[in-house]
């Protein structure tokens, strides 16, 4: 199997689905790039080059550049999804949902229910999220808890290249609106990714480490950190389970509860702002449904309740680090030995 | 040109040269790895920011874009504090919390660069509403790119400014591209017809010509100040660097930027105009060039040795009261 980057894995998923299904189209700002300009065609492939190469293969009718009009084109993608196409729309940074959220949560996310189960809206919004790029407060947020909050949306957080390809193909084939969140720091990460298309089902957590003492639930980039911590603590005799929920909606509550029943300790790692995020959601789930199994208070490892700062020194302090995750694990290990 | 004294001309040249020098230095420093994050340079567009802002006072407000350094300098922001901000330092304009894309100084009427395309126009309507309600006599100017002119927030602001009869000027800086996409493709209709459709006067202006921008902006700003409502300027200009630092600009024609620097450079045009008409002497301008270069050099040195913010700074400034 060939090693592929997160970026390549996503690109390959898009290309393979476009080959398989002529109703799959891609749209977004500079998704081919250079439109109307005198230089190279397909000059950009989106701001970080994820869609590069699609336009030459599939043409401008299926790879659409858009003006900077997110309300209009994200809404158009929703409308097209409800009327026969399978659009994959790129919202360059998730922060820009501020411009177009109505079309996502009042329109796409509610058609099915409001129309009494008659609408099918196979929309995928691919969007880049997360801190670590020195991109400051308006280009570094996570925001996935906000999408998770909205009934009708499915929310996907691929944590590695393998995950990204399988989950994106699943997202495109899924008949509901899906918000597919790509962590910007992961684009150059590489791992073995099969050449042929495959899907990873939604709502099935991935067990990336198996252990007995502590359950760490982590998503997106934080899965990598949690795995590192688990591997490091192994030598100290602390054995951790790491669960990557893969999708926050639907959420694989069973796997989380089962794991906590076994370990009795929970650390949830969430890069999103700490109030009303996935850490609070998963903690509440466990407190309500597995309280009896808990040997220690639940620990949540999150950033502080501040916007993402620009200065590298501050941003590094902001992001949940392997050190902070490790400290949280050690802390819960002080209970119920 | 009649309204501009020699002192004004010197001021205008200093600001334009400061922007150019600032951006050229940031370009070099970024390439050397000293500057983190996303940086969008304004080099090539100087005459627009300065031509507009020469008509403004501290009580007037502007809102900028992601390409904000030039607007900040033109509106009188402290250059050393800006440089420190770009380096993420504690005594930068925003304490190192904002960076290039969020430099602001409300005391100078600078409402911020903006990471959200189309973020500024509604804010400027608000600043104009304050000026009108509080009777400050102030006006507010929104700088918008050609790409930003397609954002719903911008078009809604055109309408709002008109129905509320606000003292606003929309300055659409059309540098031909939004990232890699040409404005020739992305803008439906035309900027001037859009203005007309929303009931505003609109003028197309050569954005390489400081004097043309100054005069067109003066007319629009005087009109706003007199309570006669908003207008729009379609300023045509060019950027010399990539969309952001690191952009290889493969979507541009070979030699495009070199040709622009040769033929329509706003600083060169200014120099020719004022020296040929005998308003200023070449020597004077040379002196300014040297002084500005020295002061930007000093700003970089100061920024490099300035302190980074520390852990306690992380949690401050989220709210006024807790
Ligand atoms: C709402 C939103 N959409 C997209 C972007 C990404 N983006 C940043 S600048 C830019 C192009 C802006 O072009 P234009 O308005 O012409 O300004 P210029 O860069 O040419 O100065 C884009 C697409 C953004 N920052 N905000
Ligand atoms: Mg532009």
Q: How far is A275 from chain B (nearest CA, A)?
A: 14
Contact A67 B153 (CB under 8 A): no
Q: Does B258 touch chain A (CB under 8 A)?
A: no
Specify the CATH number for the domain of residue A309.
Answer: 3.40.50.920
Give the DSSP letter of residue A208: E
- Residue A1's pLDDT is 87
- Between CA A226 and CA B146 the distance in angstroms is 44
The pair of three-digit structure tokens given for residue A136, joined into one six-digit string: 């400051």
Phi, then psi, of B205 in degrees rounded to 5:
-135, 140
Last residue of a domain, one of A148, A169, A193: A193
Same domain membership, residue A136 and residue A16: yes
- Residue A159's pLDDT is 98
Nearest to B97 among A38, A95, A309 (CB): A309
Same domain membership, residue A13 and residue A147: yes
**B233-285: per-residue pLDDT in tens?**
999 999 999 999 999 999 999 999 999 999 999 999 999 999 999 999 999 99
What pTM was estimated for this model as a whole?
0.97
**B94-107: per-residue pLDDT in tens?**
999 999 999 999 99
| Burial of B77: CB neighbours in 10 Å, binned 0-12, 13-18, 19+ | buried
Same domain membership, residue A250 and residue A104: no
Answer yes or no: is pLDDT of B1 > 80.
no
- Residue B74's pLDDT is 98
Same domain membership, residue A157 and residue A223: no
**A101-116: per-residue pLDDT in tens?**
999 999 999 999 999 9
Kindly list the catalytic residues of A. 139
Residues 6+ away with beta carbon under 8 Å from A35: A60, A65, B180, B181, B182, B185, B186
Last residue of a domain, one of A137, A169, A193: A193
The pair of three-digit structure tokens given for residue A57, joined into one six-digit string: 């293969």
Q: List beta partners, residue A86.
A: A24
Same domain membership, residue A306 and residue A233: yes
Contact A71 B152 (CB under 8 A): yes
How far lies A175's CA from each of A80, A82, A112, A121, B33, in Å? 13, 10, 10, 6, 45
Q: Where are the alpha helices (DSSP H) in chain A?
A: 6-20, 54-58, 70-81, 97-101, 111-114, 144-148, 161-173, 221-234, 253-263, 278-289, 312-318, 322-333
B138 pocket-lining for ligand 1 (C-beta < 6 Å): no
Best of A71, A311, A315, A316 to substitute, by most chain B Cβ atoms within 10 angstroms, is A311
Same domain membership, residue A176 and residue A46: yes
ipTM of the complex: 0.96
Has residue A200 been placed in a domain? Answer: no
The range of the structural domain enclosing residue A261 comes to 206-334
Same domain membership, residue A42 and residue A139: yes
Has residue A307 been placed in a domain? Answer: yes
- Percent of chain A at pLDDT > 70 equals 100
- B241-245 contacts at long range (C-beta below 8 A, 24 or more positions apart): B241/B23, B241/B27, B241/B41, B241/B43, B241/B44, B243/B40, B243/B177, B243/B179, B243/B180, B244/B38, B244/B39, B244/B40, B245/B26, B245/B27, B245/B30, B245/B31, B245/B35, B245/B38, B245/B39, B245/B40, B245/B41
Residues 6+ away with beta carbon under 8 Å from A196: none
- In the stretch 202-241 of chain B, residues with CB closer than 8 A to chain A read none
Distance B180 CA to ligand 2 centre (A): 9
Contact A68 B178 (CB under 8 A): yes
Q: DSSP of B45-91, one letter per residue?
A: -HHHHHHHHTT--TTSEEE--SS-HHHHHHTT--HHHHHHHHTT-TT
Has residue A145 been placed in a domain? Answer: yes
Same domain membership, residue A212 and residue A176: no
Confidence label for A336 from pLDDT (cuts 50, 70 and 90)? confident
Domains of chain B by range and CATH? Answer: 6-304 (3.40.50.970)
Average pLDDT, chain B: 97
Answer yes or no: is pLDDT of A20 > 60.
yes
For the beta carbon of residue B10, count every other beta carbon within 10 angstroms. Answer: 16
- Residue A337's pLDDT is 74
Specify the CATH number for the domain of residue A141.
Answer: 3.40.50.970
Answer yes or no: is pLDDT of B80 > 70.
yes
> ω before B78 within 30° of 0 (cis)?
no
Contact B181 A95 (CB under 8 A): no
How far lies B160's CA from each of A68, A314, B305, in Å? 20, 39, 46
**Number of domains chain A is built from:** 2
- Percent of chain B at pLDDT > 70 equals 99
Answer yes or no: is pLDDT of B2 > 70.
no
- In the stretch 17-76 of chain B, residues with CB closer than 8 A to chain A read 36-38
Has residue A199 been placed in a domain? Answer: no
- Percent of chain A at pLDDT > 90 equals 99
Has residue A26 been placed in a domain? Answer: yes
Q: List beta partners, residue A63.
A: A26
B67 pocket-lining for ligand 1 (C-beta < 6 Å): yes
Residues 6+ away with beta carbon under 8 Å from B79: B18, B22, B73, B295, B296, B299
Sign of CA dihedral B72, B75, B77, B79: positive
Paired sense of beta strands A247-249 and A154-156, if any: antiparallel
Answer yes or no: is pLDDT of A242 > 70.
yes
Best of A310, A316, A317 to substitute, by most chain B Cβ atoms within 10 angstroms, is A310
The pair of three-digit structure tokens given for residue A84, joined into one six-digit string: 């026969």
Mean pLDDT for B186-201 is 98
Paired sense of beta strands B140-145 and B61-63, if any: parallel
B268 pocket-lining for ligand 1 (C-beta < 6 Å): no
């Amino acid at each position: 199997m060939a090693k592929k980057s997160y970026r390549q894995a996503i690109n390959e998923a898009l290309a393979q689905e476009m080959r398989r299904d002529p109703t799959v189209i891609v749209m977004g700002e500079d998704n081919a790039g250079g439109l109307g300009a005198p230089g190279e065609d397909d000059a950009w492939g989106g701001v970080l080059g994820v869609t590069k190469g699609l336009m030459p293969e599939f043409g401008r009718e299926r790879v659409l550049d858009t003006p900077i009009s997110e309300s209009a084109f994200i809404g158009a993608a929703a409308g097209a999804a409800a009327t026969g196409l399978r659009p994959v729309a790129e919202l360059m940074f998730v922060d820009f949902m501020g411009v177009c959220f109505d079309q996502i949560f009042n329109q796409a996310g509610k058609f099915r229910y409001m129309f009494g189960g008659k609408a099918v809206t196979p929309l995928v919004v691919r969007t880049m999220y997360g801190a670590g790029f020195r991109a400051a407060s308006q280009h570094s947020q996570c925001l996935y808890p906000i999408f998770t909050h909205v009934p009708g949306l499915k929310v996907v957080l691929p944590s590695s290249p393998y995950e990204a390809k399988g989950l994106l193909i699943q997202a495109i084939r899924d008949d509901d609106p899906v918000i597919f969140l790509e962590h910007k720091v992961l684009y150059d990460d590489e791992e073995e990714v099969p050449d042929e298309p495959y899907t990873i089902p939604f709502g099935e957590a991935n067990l990336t480490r198996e252990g007995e003492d502590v359950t760490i639930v982590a998503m997106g980039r934080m899965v990598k950190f949690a795995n590192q911590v688990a591997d490091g603590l192994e030598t100290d005799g602390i054995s951790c389970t790491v669960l990557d929920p893969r999708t926050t909606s639907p959420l694989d509550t069973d796997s989380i509860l089962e794991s906590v029943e076994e370990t009795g300790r929970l650390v949830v790692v969430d890069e999103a702002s700490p109030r009303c995020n996935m850490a609070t959601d998963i903690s509440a789930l466990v407190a309500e449904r597995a309280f009896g199994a808990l040997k220690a208070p639940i620990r949540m490892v999150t950033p502080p309740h501040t916007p993402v700062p620009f200065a590298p020194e501050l941003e590094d302090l902001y992001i949940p680090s392997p050190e902070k995750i490790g400290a949280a694990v050690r802390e819960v290990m002080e209970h119920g030995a | 040109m009649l309204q501009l004294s020699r002192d004004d001309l010197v001021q205008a040249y200093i600001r334009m040269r400061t922007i150019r020098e600032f951006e050229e230095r940031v370009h070099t420093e970024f390439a050397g790895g000293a500057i983190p994050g996303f940086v969008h340079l304004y080099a090539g567009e100087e005459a627009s920011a300065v031509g507009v802002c020469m008509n403004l006072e501290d009580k007037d407000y502007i809102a900028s874009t992601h390409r904000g350094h030039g607007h900040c300098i033109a509106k009188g922001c402290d250059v050393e504090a800006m440089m420190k901000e770009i380096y993420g330092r504690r005594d930068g304009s925003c304490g190192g919390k904002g960076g290039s894309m969020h430099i602001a100084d409300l005391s100078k009427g600078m409402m911020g660069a903006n990471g959200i395309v189309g973020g500024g126009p509604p804010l400027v309507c608000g600043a104009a509403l304050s000026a009108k309600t509080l009777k400050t006599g102030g006006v507010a100017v929104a700088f918008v790119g050609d790409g930003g002119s397609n954002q719903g927030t911008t078009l809604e602001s055109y309408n709002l400014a008109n129905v509320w009869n606000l003292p606003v000027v929309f300055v659409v800086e059309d540098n031909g591209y939004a990232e890699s996409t040409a404005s020739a493709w992305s803008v439906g209709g035309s900027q001037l017809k859009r203005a007309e459709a929303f009931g505003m006067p609109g003028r197309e202006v050569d954005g390489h010509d400081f004097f043309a921008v100054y005069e067109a902006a003066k007319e629009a700003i005087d009109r706003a100040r007199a309570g006669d409502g908003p207008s729009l300027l379609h300023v045509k200009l060019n950027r010399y660097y990539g969309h952001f630092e690191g952009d290889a600009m493969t979507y541009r024609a070979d030699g495009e930027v070199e040709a622009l620097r040769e033929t329509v450079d706003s600083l060169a045009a200014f120099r020719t105009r004022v020296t040929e008409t005998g308003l200023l002497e070449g020597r004077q301008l040379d002196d300014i060039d040297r002084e500005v270069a020295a002061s930007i050099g000093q700003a970089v040195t100061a920024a490099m040795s300035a302190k980074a913010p520390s852990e306690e700074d992380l949690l401050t400034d989220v709210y006024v009261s807790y």
